[in-house]
A and B are shown apart, each in its own frame.
Chain A
Amino acid sequence: MFGYTLRRLSLACLTAAVAVTVLFVIIHLVPGDPVSIMLGPRATPEMKAALTAQMGLDRPLPVQLLTFFANLLHGDLGIDVFSGRSVTDIVLEQVPYTLELILASILWSATLGIALGCYSAVRRNTLGDRITAVLSVGCIAAPSFVVALYSLLGFAVALRWFPAIGAGEPGDWGDQLNHLVLPSFAIGLSWVGYVARLARASMLEVLGEPHIRTARAFGLPERWITFRYALRIAILPTVTVIGVGVSFLLSAAVFTEIVFARPGLGKLVIDSITTRNYPIVMGAVLISTLVFVLATALSDIVNALLDPRVKSSVS
């Protein structure tokens, strides 16, 4: 198991390295001189030349890429030209906000989605099942940005139940949770429907298995059968999907951070791409990629732990 974990994590790092390399090439192919954009309209040719040299932009692309990876091994993502701050610091101070947004969204959407999926499967073909089906599809179909704007208007402006913008006071856990409600609701809502449908399908499959019929024949309570026997197997595909869903949520976090004026990685990347702030783009995308590949690796590891068939094959 340890070997499997190590292999998965190594693969995750390799994936991140490839993704960053591809991004590096793409960003340098996009038109627009970063130095001109960064320095603004009054920079002299001498200033531009000095900054170009300082950022290493006058070197060949392969050299720039190798320098980036060499510095990365020392944990150095470079220095931001404007503020003089370390790119590592700039990126890492935004990561927690995006992570907490993603985790909050996954947590509530997975919890509710799995609960609804189980309910639908157990109450198959009842009115409750049909209502859940319609709601699930409705949640999937509702665009996240529409949900975000309407929830802002409804809950923040009209009802004043939740704050409209920001991430809350640092260190104030309650305030930060309060500021998480609407954004996580906006991006998690579609996942409720998706997870519910997936959980329902998995549960139905497992509930039809012979060992479940045996359990019923033994007279075990239905709730016991549903949660202790069926759900534990049915949840496996959902775990995998949630791991993959992190990438979707990372993308959704971008617009959420703009609509709710939240700090985070997504907004940092957008701002940095617009200003061609290469060091921050590279650093932010590297971290995002690592988050994604680690999340999928983690879901694979969790799957391996949960599923005896997978665990025995990797052991």
Chain B
Amino acid sequence: MSKKNIQWIKLSLSGRLPRRRFLQGASALGASAALSAGLPRVSWAASGSTLKVRTYADMKSLDPAFSQGVADELIQAPIYNKLIQYKPGRKWGWQLDAATMIEQSDPTHIKFALRDDIGFSDGFGPMTAEDVKFSFERIVDPELKSTNKPDWGPLDHVEVSGEREGVIVLKKPFQPLWSITLPYITGNIVSKKAVLKAGGRIGTKPVATSGPYRHKSWQAKQKTVLERNPNWKGTKPDFDEIRILPIDDENTAEIAFEAGELDFTRVSLGSLKRLKANPPAHSTVAEYPSLYYVWVGMNLDNPKLGNKKLRQAIQYAIDVPSILQAAYFGAAKPATGIIAPGLLGHRDKDPIPPKADFKHARRLLAESGEKNVKLTLDVLNKQTNVTAAQVIQATLKQIGIDLAINLHEAGEFWTLGEEKSGNRWKNIELILNRFSMTPDPYYATAWFTKAQVGIWNWERFRSDKFDSLVNQAMVESDPDKRAAMYRKAQDLMEASGAYRFITHEATPVIYRDRIKPALRPDGLALLRYFKKA
């Protein structure tokens, strides 16, 4: 700020500045403030070697111990390595990454050997078995209080048998290790030296990375930029730079894609029909099943729903195809349970057909002896949920049940059934709920055990048999037996009358023809494997 401006301000505050001079000074001050940001630089358009993708939320943490989901993993996966990674494609599987070898020598011991050409950035040296030991053990260390500790289940310790060899030792068998633990967030390997030097925890800046890309910059709520790692000895990634833009509104992301500012994004189900019929030039629309599961639950501890026949009447009266047509624009399929298609334990058929059977529902209602039934349905205030709730309201009316819809904002909804948050759980009658899961059935069923009553089991479903099946399936290594257990578990849920399964939704994506995306079977991006077409 110039001397003249400072003088002007002093004069004006003293009240001795004539109005004419004030107006002149104000204009000059405004102009100098605008110019003081610096001369404009030429802004170079992103070259063809830059990949621009959308994520639904900004990154929260680059620490595998504290990352909360897809938004963080989207960035971590290209900059860290794991022993194994998900294999891109339409079928769930994994492939070697940092490991040259990994094998389960017995139900509780997994041997591994690392590649000898992976190093950490910033001079933190080659990746060793010590780094693997540190990365995995810290997550189950009670001192660290990692929220991702359950993903490592019964990890006991990691034995280091050589510079790059080790054995993962479990306290008991844990099948989700291969589908969740190792290929997802908790499988990311960090540098022991770097993390300890940083105080034991990683924030939003990585302390040392080892993947095919490295972290270049992060502007909060704007973008994360990854750049090709020049020291990466593996297959050279196709892109010089990846820009990950947090855009939480799907419609905005679609517009950004159509404006040429994104190369890959998920699109909304509402836009799918339009985009398939008339895709933007040089782009492809693809559909993938999602791992979400949507259902109507009933609070078994609410006296109004104590009558099993009433609950069963409600199950048969809810018309799933109508919900899918109205709320999901016909783009989603009916669910047969909580485990998505393609996963172990998925039920091929639902004993209760998706189409409502009003005759049967009325008969069940009559057998229940309940009259003038008035219930409430708690719903998250997103448009899809609201529409689904309205359809449920209309279909229940067909059998004479009056349903009032209670809309809740997200922060309120996600603690409705939690006992620690107060007594609101007592008022839950029907609830339209939606959970996400990782690609192991354990992650779907874990929330409906007795231990979860008052936490995430808002139906307050209590079944010793269910709990036993879930616990057994977690350690069962035979996939067919495991699948049978999970199918039976879902049968028990449905037989209680407390659940009506709606859908697993879908993950439609759109991408430029100049890229070849690498996606998990649920449509989530594996950026490190994206290629140019």
Quick one: closest A residue to B421, CB to CB? A33
Contact A165 B409 (CB under 8 A): no
Contact A164 B13 (CB under 8 A): no
A85-B259 in contact given A36-B420, A274-B409 (Cβ < 8 Å): no
Contact B19 A171 (CB under 8 A): no
> Could you tell me the distance between the alpha carbons of A163 and B420 in the complex, rounded to whole angstroms?
46
Contact A32 B147 (CB under 8 A): no
Contact A48 B255 (CB under 8 A): no
A221 sits at the interface (CB 8 A): no
B414 sits at the interface (CB 8 A): yes
With a CB–CB cut-off of 8 A, which chain B residues contact A169? 43
Chain B nearest CB: distance from A48 CB in Å?
7
Chain B nearest CB: distance from A205 CB in Å?
19
With a CB–CB cut-off of 8 A, which chain B residues contact A130? none
A-B contact count (CB 8 A): 163
Contact B245 A83 (CB under 8 A): no
Contact B411 A32 (CB under 8 A): yes
> Could you tell me the distance between the alpha carbons of A160 and B258 in the complex, rounded to whole angstroms?
10
Contact A259 B411 (CB under 8 A): no
Centre residue among B69, B253, B421 by max chain A CB count within 10 A: B421
Chain A nearest CB: distance from B216 CB in Å?
13
Contact A232 B19 (CB under 8 A): yes
B90 sits at the interface (CB 8 A): no
A174-B40 in contact given A83-B204, A258-B248, A268-B221 (Cβ < 8 Å): yes
B372 sits at the interface (CB 8 A): no
> Could you tell me the distance between the alpha carbons of A263 and B246 in the complex, rounded to whole angstroms?
10
- Interface residues on chain B, size class: 35 or more
Q: Which stretch from B60-68, B348-356, B487-495 is at the chain A interface?
A: B60-68
A273 sits at the interface (CB 8 A): yes
* Contact with B43, one of A94, A160, A175 (Cβ below 8 angstroms): A175
A-B contact pairs, 24 of them (CB 8 A): A1-B14, A31-B421, A32-B411, A32-B413, A32-B414, A36-B418, A36-B420, A39-B147, A40-B69, A85-B204, A156-B255, A157-B255, A163-B259, A164-B259, A165-B247, A166-B261, A172-B40, A172-B43, A268-B221, A274-B409, A275-B411, A276-B411, A305-B17, A315-B15
A 224-266 to B, binary, CB cutoff 8 A, 1 in contact else 0: 0000000010000000000000000000000000111101100
A40-B68 in contact given A33-B421, A153-B255 (Cβ < 8 Å): yes
Closest 4 CB pairs of A and B: A1-B15, A174-B40, A263-B221, A164-B259
* Contact with A166, one of B69, B201, B245 (Cβ below 8 angstroms): B245
> Could you tell me the distance between the alpha carbons of A165 and B147 in the complex, rounded to whole angstroms?
33
Chain B nearest CB: distance from A85 CB in Å?
7
Contact B41 A172 (CB under 8 A): yes
Q: Given A82-B66, A315-B15, 7 more contacts at CB 8 Å? A: A1-B15, A2-B15, A40-B147, A42-B147, A168-B43, A174-B41, A258-B252
Interface residues in A257-315 (C-beta closer than 8 Å to B)? 258-261, 263-264, 267-268, 271, 273-276, 302, 305-306, 308, 311, 314-315
With a CB–CB cut-off of 8 A, which chain A residues contact B26? 302
B48 sits at the interface (CB 8 A): no
> Could you tell me the distance between the alpha carbons of A30 and B261 in the complex, rounded to whole angstroms?
38
Contact B424 A31 (CB under 8 A): yes
* Contact with B149, one of A41, A42, A174, A271 (Cβ below 8 angstroms): A42
> Could you tell me the distance between the alpha carbons of A2 and B410 in the complex, rounded to whole angstroms?
48
Chain B nearest CB: distance from A273 CB in Å?
7
> Could you tell me the distance between the alpha carbons of A85 and B145 in the complex, rounded to whole angstroms?
18
B447 sits at the interface (CB 8 A): yes
Chain B nearest CB: distance from A101 CB in Å?
13
Chain A nearest CB: distance from B244 CB in Å?
12
With a CB–CB cut-off of 8 A, which chain B residues contact A5? 13
Contact A157 B415 (CB under 8 A): no
A171-B41 in contact given A30-B412, A83-B203, A160-B259 (Cβ < 8 Å): yes
A160-B260 in contact given A2-B13, A258-B249 (Cβ < 8 Å): yes
Quick one: closest A residue to B246, CB to CB? A261
A77 sits at the interface (CB 8 A): no
With a CB–CB cut-off of 8 A, which chain A residues contact B149? 42, 44
With a CB–CB cut-off of 8 A, which chain A residues contact B455? 41
> Could you tell me the distance between the alpha carbons of A24 and B297 in the complex, rounded to whole angstroms?
34
With a CB–CB cut-off of 8 A, which chain B residues contact A164? 252, 255-256, 259, 261
Quick one: closest A residue to B409, CB to CB? A274
A36-B255 in contact given A2-B13, A172-B40, A173-B39 (Cβ < 8 Å): no
A43 sits at the interface (CB 8 A): yes
Interface residues in A155-196 (C-beta closer than 8 Å to B)? 156-157, 160, 163-175, 177-178
A47 sits at the interface (CB 8 A): yes
A60 sits at the interface (CB 8 A): no
* Contact with B38, one of A37, A171, A177, A178 (Cβ below 8 angstroms): A171
Contact B39 A274 (CB under 8 A): no
B148 sits at the interface (CB 8 A): yes
Binding site for B on A (CB under 8 A): 1-2, 5, 30-34, 36-37, 39-48, 50, 82-85, 90, 93-94, 152-153, 156-157, 160, 163-175, 177-178, 232, 258-261, 263-264, 267-268, 271, 273-276, 302, 305-306, 308, 311, 314-315
Contact B259 A94 (CB under 8 A): no
Interface residues in B116-170 (C-beta closer than 8 Å to A)? 145, 147-151
With a CB–CB cut-off of 8 A, which chain A residues contact B66? 82
* Contact with B255, one of A152, A175, A263 (Cβ below 8 angstroms): A152
Contact A163 B261 (CB under 8 A): yes
B277 sits at the interface (CB 8 A): no
Contact B14 A2 (CB under 8 A): yes
B 454-485 to A, binary, CB cutoff 8 A, 1 in contact else 0: 01100000000000000000000000000000
With a CB–CB cut-off of 8 A, which chain A residues contact B415? 31-33, 36-37
* Contact with B222, one of A82, A85, A160, A167 (Cβ below 8 angstroms): A167
With a CB–CB cut-off of 8 A, which chain B residues contact A267? 221
Quick one: closest A residue to B436, CB to CB? A41
Chain A nearest CB: distance from B296 CB in Å?
20
> Could you tell me the distance between the alpha carbons of A31 and B249 in the complex, rounded to whole angstroms?
25
With a CB–CB cut-off of 8 A, which chain B residues contact A156? 255, 259
* Contact with A306, one of B19, B43, B412, B456 (Cβ below 8 angstroms): B19
> Could you tell me the distance between the alpha carbons of A169 and B44 in the complex, rounded to whole angstroms?
10
B303 sits at the interface (CB 8 A): no
Contact A173 B261 (CB under 8 A): no
> Could you tell me the distance between the alpha carbons of A271 and B58 in the complex, rounded to whole angstroms?
10
* Contact with B245, one of A93, A165, A314 (Cβ below 8 angstroms): A165
A263-B411 in contact given A33-B420, A173-B37 (Cβ < 8 Å): no
B101 sits at the interface (CB 8 A): no
With a CB–CB cut-off of 8 A, which chain A residues contact B203? 83-85
Contact A36 B414 (CB under 8 A): yes
> Could you tell me the distance between the alpha carbons of A305 and B148 in the complex, rounded to whole angstroms?
60
Quick one: closest A residue to B38, CB to CB? A173
B 250-280 to A, binary, CB cutoff 8 A, 1 in contact else 0: 0011011011110000000000000000000
B302 sits at the interface (CB 8 A): no
Contact B220 A263 (CB under 8 A): yes
> Could you tell me the distance between the alpha carbons of A54 and B60 in the complex, rounded to whole angstroms?
19
> Could you tell me the distance between the alpha carbons of A276 and B148 in the complex, rounded to whole angstroms?
21
With a CB–CB cut-off of 8 A, which chain B residues contact A174? 40-43
Contact B456 A41 (CB under 8 A): yes
> Could you tell me the distance between the alpha carbons of A39 and B411 in the complex, rounded to whole angstroms?
13
